[in-house]
Amino acid sequence: MSGEHVDEVLFSDLEQRDAMVMETGRSVYTFTITDKANRRGVLIGGNVAQPRDAVFSGSLQADKAMWEHGVRVGARATFFLVVPQDLSGFSQVITSPLVRIRIVRGADGTAAY
């Protein structure tokens, strides 16, 4: 799978079916957008072994500030996963600091595989 490597992603620049492939020192996470208006998509990678519905909440910067507009190399991406047994519940995923980000335009849902 190819894609464009970037240092920063603004969520507003992404479209439905685009995927952010985010690499940490030990893991690769892929978030494929399914509903841009609500920042929803499918997340897989790291401790998320199976594709899960998730909401992109932004990124935690090195200075601990939350940046809601996107994600940068060196920051930690943050997501809320929908808890299948309780539609009103969420669990949070915070990645390790990102070392590389790739954007895959119009991913087919298999960007992580």
Q: Residue 87 — pLDDT band, cuts 50, 70, 90?
A: low
Tokens at residue 30, please? 């892929």
Which one has a higher pLDDT value, 1 or 49?
49
pLDDT (mean) for 22-50: 95
Q: Residue 23 — pLDDT band, cuts 50, 70, 90?
A: very high
- Residue 4's alpha-carbon distances to 33, 55, 79, 100, in angstroms, are 16, 23, 22, 11
Q: What is the mean pLDDT of the chain?
A: 89
Q: How far apart are CA 50 and CA 63, in angstroms?
A: 31
- Residue 103's alpha-carbon distances to 82, 85, 100, in angstroms, are 24, 32, 10
Supply the pTM of this predicted model: 0.87
